[in-house]
Amino acid sequence: MNKFMASAIVSVSVFTMSCGAMEHSADSEMSVFLEGGGWRVEDSPYNLKPGSTIGVCDTGVKQGVANLVVQAVNTWLEVGGRDSRVKVSKTCTADRILKLVRVDDDVDYYGQVSPLQGKVYVVNVPDKWAGHWTSNHEVGHIFGFGHIFNGTVSIMNSEQNGAYMNGGRLSSYDKSEVKRMLSSYHFTLVNRLWVPSAATPATTGTAAPAHEEPTPRVATGSCTGANGTTIYAHGTVTTYKGNTYTCNKGKWVFSAGIH
């Protein structure tokens, strides 16, 4: 059986998402966005407002896992255009809490998460938790993404012993799926709060061109906002009027929104 093979397990009428050694069945071939069995797209941390907090609550799991989960949360946030206005830290008090719970190592998965209950996601952590691979995969479930199969290169695809998991990192496919998720009506209101001020056309009395891009800053790989002063790190993703701008090695890349 494959090291990273993932499957959906039904427990107390709730789907817990696992990355483990169990072969997947036809029933686990679900849509890429988690819905049903207690999972709701609108529960994704992408729906948190600026100023919110996310806590990784370590109740005594394998050393180093909590730090990796913090990194994974920040990775998924960054891909979705969320910045340091959401504070992620190792704490058991926050607006959203990832409660890491140690489980016996004889389980048939490498990690498992349950749907949001109140403000808590329970994350089951056996000692065989596989570093950043499992961290990025399981946190992907928390952000609302299900398993994907059929040879797609994705952190959410654990077929063939992790051969398609992109080295345990988010792939270009994963990033495009984040954009697709954020274009849904579930995130319309919160997306408006996450548009950086630099993405708003300067107040000059005239309308900005429909596809005006912020001025790039090539030397550092960061991008300069439209106000000429605010700097955005490589990989920053932001939306404005339904369109998406991605900072890519010092240049803003425009992507038309879905209408």
Question: CA 155 to CA 165: how far, in whole Å?
Answer: 4
Among residues 154, 18, 132, 146, the alpha carbon closest in space to that of 74 is found at 132
Mean pLDDT, residues 98-120? 95
pTM of the shown model: 0.69
Q: Is the model's pLDDT at 200 over the cut of 50?
A: no
Q: Do residues 138 and 111 make contact, with C-beta atoms less than 8 angstroms apart?
A: yes
Of 16 and 140, the structure prediction assigns the larger pLDDT to: 140
Domains observed in the chain: 6-179 (3.40.390.10), 195-202+211-255 (no CATH)
Q: Is the model's pLDDT at 138 over the cut of 50?
A: yes
pLDDT at 167: 94
Among residues 244, 245, 193, the alpha carbon closest in space to that of 215 is found at 245
pLDDT at 235: 67
Residues in the chain, overall count: 259
Of 226 and 162, the structure prediction assigns the larger pLDDT to: 162
Among residues 17, 21, 8, the alpha carbon closest in space to that of 159 is found at 21
Q: How many CB atoms lie within 10 A of CB 198?
A: 19
pLDDT at 115: 97
Write down the mean pLDDT value for the chain.
79
- Cα–Cα separations (whole angstroms), residue 53 to 48, 68, 84, 111: 8, 17, 10, 23
